Structure 1
Amino acid sequence: MPYVIADDLPDAPAGQRFRALLERPQILRMPGAHLGIAALLAKKAGFEALYMSGAAMSATMGLPDLGMITVDDVSWHIRQVVRAAGLPALVDGDTGYGEALNVMHMVRAFEEAGAGAVHLEDQLLPKKCGHLNDKKLADARDMAAKVAAARRARRSLVIIARTDAAASEGIDGAVARAKLYLEAGADAIFPEALTTAEMFREFAARMPGVKLLANMTEFGRTPFFTDQEFEAMGYSMVIWPVSQLRVAARSMEELYAAINRDGGTHRMVDRMQTRAELYQTIDYAAYEALDSTLIRTVVPEAMPGR
């Protein structure tokens, strides 16, 4: 039953619940889910935490991932995901939407919206996807100040510092930055766009005892690794940030092409979630039961003949 109408709303703040999952010995797996329906489907599949990608939210709004969306845009997405599934979510905080005071505002806004964790990155605006070329890095001390501001503003939110330095400063530079960010108050580190298993292992070996996040995005600089392979390399968390958007966008492309080609959707019905399946996913009957004045809906089992 969706948490918006359930009696068993989580008592503990999302940050505490996220931290508890992170403290378990096994790797924490977080598929991308930046919409309420995606959150419900991920929960149904058995996932216990979610990831909300800035790139996915931007693309859903028809915008590139260049730091153009706002704190309010992201908070709106957080609220619907948390309301729908009740799972703790790690949220992409980009560069913090400004300097230290902006970061503090972001942390409070995200936490009030229901986020369990946030990650900040050490790029300058306009930021880029971590797997693209010519990223511009912020001064490490400026990034550390943002991390410190996030730590000061948070109540229970888990703070993860992302560094994009490996591409331009190598592992040595990424490790040095990560240590500075930990000193500033980061709870975990996200080394972005590592390109080989050896790089993942070396970074982890040089960060003993530190919770590390791996990014398994498609069409990027990182080869495909499984969650268990990342765990064996020393990582505590893994995200698949934009996978659900890529699959959904391809399906929508094919749907619109079919309508244009065939004059209707009749050749795509077998690709669709049925009305009954959708209503089961969103627990339509439970909402309906809340209001005794509503008549129980009868779901058509099949389309009528012509």
Structure 2
Amino acid sequence: MQYQPQAVRPNASHEYARPSPVEKLRDEICSNSELSFLMEAHDGLSARIAERAGFRGLWASGLSIASSLGFRDANEASWSQLVESVERIVDSTELPVLVDGDGGFGNFNNARLLARKLRQAGAAGASLEDSCFPKLNSLIGDRHPLADIDEFSGRLRAVKDVVSETFILVARIEALIAGHGLNEAIVRAHAYADAGADAILIHSRKSSADEVLSFASEWGNRLPVVIVPTTYYRTPVSAYRYARISTVVWANHSMRAAAAAMRHVCDSIAAQQSVASIESHIASLPEIFDLLRYDELAESEKRYLQPR
């Protein structure tokens, strides 16, 4: 059975009620006939910048959050540190947040605990991958053992039993990363759809999109397909629209841009012992104040601090 794009239904109690984060994310991934884009965020500032740029949803990247905390993307950051980072992202923006939850940090019990805590933090959904704990970033090395299909399906069912329809669950398939091929990816996708996943994220480390496009063709749109074109970034997005891909995740680009910019600035200041040459190349303080809405604080001070 193929999913059918649906229009967002208004809240029954109020025709013009604002959609919830879950409804917003569902509209982006599951109910939108147009190709959607989620932008990586790893803290409040990167979330606010992505919102200002016009994105309609965020990807709380496991790699980027771990990197910003000084950890490697190998489950070195704990699930509680992930939740704390997501809470700051959620508090900084009105956009729905889909969280990169790795494999759920353990078995079904760890996965459902993570989902419950992420929902409490305000996340709209999570992507769980069929990897074994501890995971290693998909683009590093050759150690990528896959979870047993039935065991991972149990993780998905446990999450859905806890969060029901109040949380979007994306099942991320690592079969192509592990070198198991298209047939294995399709078998896993069907099993995860039966376990209650709302969408399928198919991941590839190839430099072309051939693998994910073949998957989309074979999958036949049973559930929405999400992709992460980190390595096959040269593929035009028109190919994804033609293949009826649902959502593209730009998964780590704000963190990588920040790292490059900070390295350049630090090298320059250390070499020149001056900031004069770089001042015009970095964000001004008024821009930072504007991003973080210092104007709202000033207006609130007039309302709450000044006597009548």
Q: Does 1:252 align with 2:259?
A: no
TM-superposed CA distance for 1:228, in Å, is 3.3
Aligned to 1:192: 203
Unaligned ranges ≥5, structure 2: 1-16
Aligned-residue CA RMSD in angstroms? 1.7
Do 1:29 and 1:227's aligned partners in 2 also have CA atoms closer than 8 Å? no
1:207 matches 2:246? no
Match of 1:277 among 287, 300, 303: 287
Identity within the alignment, %? 24
Where do residues 105-254 of structure 1 align in structure 2 (5 Å cutoff)?
Answer: 105-132=113-140, 133-155=142-164, 156-166=166-176, 167-193=178-204, 195=206, 196-209=208-221, 210-217=223-230, 220=231, 222-254=232-264
Aligned partners of 1:105 and 1:255: how far apart in 2?
41
TM-score normalised over the length of structure 1: 0.88
Instruction: Tell me if 1:20 matches 2:27.
Output: yes
1:7-34 superposed Cα distances (whole Å, 9 cap, x missing partner): xxx8543222211222111111011112
> Does the 8 Å contact 2:129/2:172 carry over to 1?
yes
Q: Which amino acid aligns with 1:86?
A: E
Q: The residue matched to 1:114 in structure 2 has which SS?
A: coil
Q: How far did residue 190 of structure 1 move? A: 0.8
How high is the TM-score relative to the length of structure 2? 0.87
User: Within 2, Cα distance between the matches of 1:143 and 1:73?
Assistant: 23
Partner Cα distance (1:47, 1:252) in 2? 24
Q: Give, in whole Å, the separation in 2 of the partners of 1:114 and 1:208.
A: 32
Aligned to 1:72: 80
Q: Deviations over 1:243-280 (max 9, x none)?
A: 11111001111111111101121111111111111111
How many pairs were matched up? Answer: 283
User: Is the alpha carbon distance of 1:255 and 1:294 closer, same or farther for their aligned partners in structure 2, counting shifts above 3 Å?
Assistant: farther
Q: 2:9 maps to what in 1?
A: none
Which deviations, in whole Å up to 9, do the C-alpha atoms of 1:94-152 show, x marking residues without a partner? 01011111111111100111111100011112311122323111111111111111111
- Flag structure 1 segments of 5+ consecutive residues without an equivalent: 1-9, 296-306
Contact 1:178 1:189 in 2 (8 A): yes
In structure 1, give the amino acid aligned to 2:172.
R
SS in 2 for 1:168: coil
